[in-house]
Structure 1
Amino acid sequence: MIQQEKKAQRHEQILLRLDELTYATRKQLQVIEKLGGDRNAHRILYQMEKDKTIASVRYEYKIYYLSNRGKDRIGSKQAELKKAWITHSLMRNDLYIRLGQPSDWRKEVPIAWGENKLIPDATYKRRGEFQFIEIDNTQSMQTNVGKIDKYKELSRVVFGQYKHTPTVIWYSLSEVRKGKLREACENAGVKYRIY
């Protein structure tokens, strides 16, 4: 009986995590949920797919997401998922893991000041300082430069209110785009890191 309760708790925790992550690979869930080795993680996720609480699509590897039954089970308010979000979500998850899985990580929370508004892909604090995450996947460089200009203004507001300069963390898979982001951030005087 205790074994069944533990299994149910682990499954529910994975469902809650998928609700936060939107999409995730087995490896990402293995690391974040500490599912042990490949065989154990595969067994757990296979059982959840069989129970129809999660579903998957196959690209280079399986990508998991909440099924309608899984959403109902945890009371998820997750909107209809779009396949166009997969790469973006997986990149954000990779960065979340790489940054040490910050406990205050929040995805896509709007920030408004004056007439301006930004929606970072994620936000967290590191040593009490704001860190804003931007995933550079498909948006145009012109859109990125516009965001950097807004981050320049937001940096002034944050400095005035919290007495620190926030960091914008970019994650891009293209060396060319990384160079352009670096140049745009330096020209705007925005504190940044690029992965």
Structure 2
Amino acid sequence: MTIDRLGMVKVRHLQTIHSLGSYRNACRVVRQLIPYTNQVYQEKEKVIYLNKKGRDLVGSENEVNGISMLKHYTLRNEVYLHFNQPIDWKNEYTLETTVEPQRNVDIVIQGIKPASKRKVVADACFTRNGYVNIIEIDNTRDMADNRKKVQNYAEILPLVRKNLPGSPLLLFFTTTENRKQKLSTWLSEKGLPHKVMTYAEIN
């Protein structure tokens, strides 16, 4: 179900995804879902997400926690629509690997070599034209945290590349030209294949 898969959706998103015709008709459809959804507003636009009854109906365990993520969800939906609704789109995509330490007798404990896990959670991911498109949604995240995430990608992508179904391409979406420039610079410095766009460029 679209609402469950995307987490939170504007009426306008459902209107586009399901070809519901007029906005008025889309609102009529959404009214029929009232028993199964919670509704909030973002800049005068209605946004809905599944309540417990709705999750039980579709057999979902994906509970939306916190309206503080509202903007994040709706921005991610804009990117989903920008790419024409990829069929293999996955939200909160985890890249994870186990790193074996270098041989060192000093760190062998009872014959077991300690290993560490490295993990990065992308906001979304989909494949197209031989690329694994890794999506990052930047809104109000501190730029220091953005730089740290770029560093995390630089460390983990060489380790997981062989297990991916295509070449990784980082796609960052952000709010301003200034943030775009900084992200582009950091990604280039790390030699990561990427593209950075503002939301204004895709709307």
TM-score w.r.t. the length of structure 2 is 0.81
The CA deviation at 1:85 is: 1.0
Helix, strand or coil for the counterpart of 2:151? helix
Question: What percentage of aligned pairs have identical amino acids?
Answer: 30
Instruction: Tell me which of 79, 85, 107 is aligned to 1:95.
Output: 79
Quick one: which amino acid aligns to residue 57 of structure 1?
Answer: V
Quick one: which amino acid aligns to residue 16 of structure 2?
Answer: V
Instruction: Tell me which of 41, 50, 53 is aligned to 2:36.
Output: 53
Report the more deviating stretch, 177-186 or 142-151.
Answer: 142-151
Report the more deviating stretch, 26-35 or 148-157.
Answer: 148-157
> What is the rounded CA distance, in whole Å, between the counterparts of 1:161 and 1:31 in structure 2?
34
Q: Aligned pair 1:68/2:52, yes or no?
A: yes
Residue in 2 aligned with 1:107? 91
Q: Aligned pair 1:84/2:68, yes or no?
A: yes
Equivalent runs, 1:30-41 vs 2, <5 Å: 30-41=15-26
Residues 96 and 160 in structure 2, CA contact (< 8 A), matched pair in contact too: no
Helix, strand or coil for the counterpart of 2:145? helix
Instruction: Tell me which of 21, 24, 27 is aligned to 1:42.
Output: 27
Unpaired runs of at least 5, structure 2: 100-116, 198-203
Which has the higher Rg, Structure 1 or Structure 2?
A: 2
Residues 122 and 134 in structure 2, CA contact (< 8 A), matched pair in contact too: yes
Unpaired runs of at least 5, structure 1: 1-15
Helix, strand or coil for the counterpart of 1:139? coil
> What is the rounded CA distance, in whole Å, between the counterparts of 2:46 and 2:188 in structure 1?
39
Residue in 1 aligned with 2:200? none
Residue in 2 aligned with 1:24? 9
Instruction: Tell me which of 167, 170, 194 is aligned to 1:168.
Output: 170
Structure with the larger strand share: 2
Helix, strand or coil for the counterpart of 1:119? strand
Residue in 1 aligned with 2:130? 128
Instruction: Tell me which of 185, 188, 196 is aligned to 1:186.
Output: 188
Residue in 2 aligned with 1:8? none
Helix, strand or coil for the counterpart of 1:117? strand
Helix, strand or coil for the counterpart of 1:109? strand
Helix, strand or coil for the counterpart of 2:20? coil
Helix, strand or coil for the counterpart of 1:121? strand
TM-score w.r.t. the length of structure 1 is 0.84
Quick one: which amino acid aligns to residue 177 of structure 1?
Answer: R
Residues 104 and 124 in structure 1, CA contact (< 8 A), matched pair in contact too: yes
Residues 119 and 156 in structure 2, CA contact (< 8 A), matched pair in contact too: no
